[in-house]
Structure 1
Amino acid sequence: MTIKKPPSAKRVNKRKAPSSGKGPSTRQTKKEPVQREISAGGIVFRTSGNSILFAMMKDSYGKWTFPKGHVEAGEDIEEAAARETLEELGLQQIRLLDYLGKIDIWFRDKFHKKGQLIHKDIHYYLFQSPVGSELHPDPEEHVYEARWVPLGKVEKASSYPDMVPIVKRALELVKQLRK
């Protein structure tokens, strides 16, 4: 299967920051600086008999999601997606299958630059893990829990609504591969 290249990481989205209505506003004040970030991550699946399982992890906010992280200097987006996915889930091997898409999020940093308004583009890829692969979440990556979730439950297990189109695309591709 051909890997689709993501849109240019240099593209700037000009829409206004949305407000979640919870906690500190994610709206930008007139002179407030916005930090732009590019991240990459992966949705990993494996087979187990006739079942398809997806790797999910609990993030630093206590929500179930998929691994992702910053693209490092000199690293391309696909490499970053694979590296972050391997590191956070503690997997030994994954195979890159396809580009799933990009989500665009705004949030206030609560760890490094507390209160800083962040505008992040996150590129997701579909990976396959070998049969029998075990998850070993890495506390140094702030991942304390990970599990394999059955195909029929993965969409509901994802805690972030903005991930729905990415998860649906992954499910479609995996179902096509099984035909």
Structure 2
Amino acid sequence: MKEISAGGVVYRRVNGELQIQLIQDRYGKISLPKGKMEPGETVEQTALREILEETGMEGKIISPIDQIKYTYTHEAKGTVDKEVHYYLVEATGGKLQAQVEEIRGVEWFEPAEAWRRQKQSGYDNNDRILSGALRLLGLEVQGHG
């Protein structure tokens, strides 16, 4: 069985300064907003809906970044092939607010600090997503293998 999720790296500019949004998930790890696709949605709609639900921010998709694929075993469904599609998303409105049921917090960081936090306490497979987003924004990241 196949399961598709989508999410994004959300950014904004404040007085010309770029800021990247990161969430802290329920396990205390640095992560990115994402969630499962619902019937009738496109992958892009899923990404924007999940970002809005988890972080309170409205956004528009600028570009696809990459996807992460992995397999896990579910008690009822057996082996699940999981695909997570990530997009670069520009914040266009909304109010920053963490969805307490799902995540512990959400904050804006300048890019170097966002990258440092990702490397320090993020999930390894998100490294290429965040570095891909930063590259699309015209930034090079240090220490990306």
Smaller-chain TM-score range?
A: 0.7 to 0.9
Partners in 1 of 2:80 and 2:24 — Cα distance? 21
Aligned to 1:148: 108
90, 93, 98: which one aligns with 2:63: 98
57, 79, 85: which one aligns with 1:123: 85
**What is the percent sequence identity of the aligned residues?**
30
**Normalising to structure 2: TM-score of the pair?**
0.82
Partners in 1 of 2:24 and 2:70 — Cα distance? 18
- What amino acid sits opposite 1:38 in the alignment? I
- Extract structure 1 runs of 4+ deviating beyond 2 A: 105-109, 116-119
SS of 2:38 mapped into structure 1: coil
SS of 1:94 mapped into structure 2: strand
Aligned to 2:143: none
Aligned to 2:127: 164
Aligned to 1:64: 30
Partners in 2 of 1:136 and 1:143 — Cα distance? 10
Matched residue count: 136
CA shift, 1:58, in A, is 1.0
CA shift, 1:107, in A, is 4.3
Partners in 1 of 2:70 and 2:115 — Cα distance? 19
Relative to its length, the structure with more strand (as a share) is: 2
**Structure 1 unaligned blocks of 5 or more:** 1-34
Q: Which has the larger radius of gyration?
A: 1
**Normalising to structure 1: TM-score of the pair?**
0.67
Q: How does 1:107-122 map to 2 (within 5 A)?
A: 107=72, 118-122=80-84
Cα deviation 1:1-41 (Å, max 9, x = unaligned): xxxxxxxxxxxxxxxxxxxxxxxxxxxxxxxxxx5311000
**Structure 2 unaligned blocks of 5 or more:** 140-145
